[in-house]
Amino acid sequence: MDITVHGTDPFGNEAYRVLFENIMNDLGEALAIEKAELVLRPEAPLFIFSVRLRAEPVSKTIADVSSLREEGSGVHITITDERYAPDILGAMWSMYGRNSVDQQTRFDMSVADADLEVVSKTVIASGEEALKEIIGSVWRSMPEGIKVRHVFISGTVVTVVATEEIMRPEFMKEGARVHVEMGGSADV
């Protein structure tokens, strides 16, 4: 993750570079972010945190994160991406009932009387959800008192403009400028 910080307080610049990196690592978002640009102007106060993601968040189906095979009248699922294991189990329980799901190990489960086609197309994580998590982690890394926020989203670029009381037009303009610089579109 490449982080650029522009700010008026040298101590704050370095501290927020480390804070942003640590928080993104803690929340598991660091791998999804290719580049981040932070604009820190505490005297205004204006904070612009813009991130460019490696890929646009898209919906994930069970087939995307596991390998499936037919087993008798049911389906056997071998999970290949651990972070989706609880979602897959939850989806199977709600679709077929707990008695039909036999979880042998953390990554393997058999679902009785299930259809391979239906299971493989089941959506377990929407792109919107992933985007929400990224925006949430950016909010968390911002100072606590900066509660008035506006979010620009286009393609893989997410920009959060935040201030304490009144969101002035020049703040929004500055946010849009950073958003475009990061590769976002100008018509957000």
Partner 1 sequence: MFEVIMYDGGVYRSAELFELIEDVGGAVLQKIRSSQMLTVTMSIPTEDKEAVVALCREIGGEVKEVPLAGTEIAVVGPTLGRHHMPHPICDIAEALRRKGALSIVMGLARGRGKGTSQISGSEVAIINEYDAAIFCFGNFKSCIEAKAELMKDIKIPLILVCGPRPEGLEDYCEGIVPGVGRKSERMRSPDERNKLDEIVSMTEMVLKDKRKRMSEDPLFVHPSEVKQVLENYHPIDMCLRPSPIVLHLDGLRAKIPYDENIQAIKDIMIYGRKLGDIAKITESKLDRSSMLIKIKTGSEVEYDDARKAAGKT
For residues 148 and 168, what is the distance between their CA atoms, to the nearest angstrom?
A: 11
Burial of 23 (0-12, 13-18, 19+ CB in 10 A): middle
| Cα–Cα distance for residue pair 55/42, rounded to 1 Å | 31
Taking the least distance from each CB to partner 1, the nearer of 2 and 43 is 43
- List Cβ neighbours of 185 (8 Å cut-off, separation of 6 or more): 154, 155
Residue from 98, 121, 147, 173 binding partner 1 (CB under 8 A): 147
Span interacting with partner 1, options 15-23, 29-37, 79-87, 105-113, rule CB under 8 A: 15-23
Distance of CA 79 to the CA centre of its chain: 21
Answer yes or no whether residue 4 interacts with partner 1 by CB under 8 A: no
Indicate whether 6 belongs to the interface with partner 1 (CB under 8 A).
no
Candidates 21-29, 77-85, 113-121, 153-161: pick the segment binding partner 1 (CB under 8 A): 21-29
Judged by CB under 8 A, the stretch of 22-30, 63-71, 98-106, 179-187 that binds partner 1 is: 22-30
- Binding status of residue 127 toward partner 1 by CB under 8 A: no
Our CA angle for 75, 79, 81, nearest 5°, is 150
Q: Using an 8 Å Cβ cutoff, are 183 and 148 in contact?
A: no
Interface residues with partner 1 (CB under 8 A) are 9-12, 15-16, 18-19, 22-23, 26, 40, 42-43, 45, 140, 143-147, 164-165
